[in-house]
């Protein structure tokens, strides 16, 4: 049972969608990322760049 959960955890999945223009731009780079988490962070990085937040920090 535990092995099945480990296998399911590492299967490919789709990234969360954000703003359409960011999704369209980042889609060209999707093949560069092996893990969906890294692609998701790439997506959120671009979302943060265009946001209206005054202080932008990268953790």
pLDDT at residue 15, rounded to an integer: 63
pLDDT in tens, 22-50: 889 999 999 999 888 899 889 988 888 88
Domains of the chain by residue range = 14-59
Task: Please give the model's pTM, rounded to 2 decimal places.
Answer: 0.62
pLDDT in tens, 8-27: 566 666 666 678 888 899 99
Contacts of 34 (CB under 8 A, 6+ apart): none
pLDDT at residue 29, rounded to an integer: 95
Contact 49, 41 (CB under 8 A): no
User: Phi/psi of residue 10, each to 5°?
Assistant: -100, 5
């Amino acid at each position: 049972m535990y092995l099945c959960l480990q296998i399911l955890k590492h299967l490919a999945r789709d990234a969360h969608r954000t703003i359409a223009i960011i999704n369209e731009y980042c889609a060209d780079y999707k093949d560069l990322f092996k893990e969906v988490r890294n692609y998701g962070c790439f997506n959120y990085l671009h979302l943060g760049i265009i946001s209206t937040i005054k202080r932008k920090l990268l953790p």
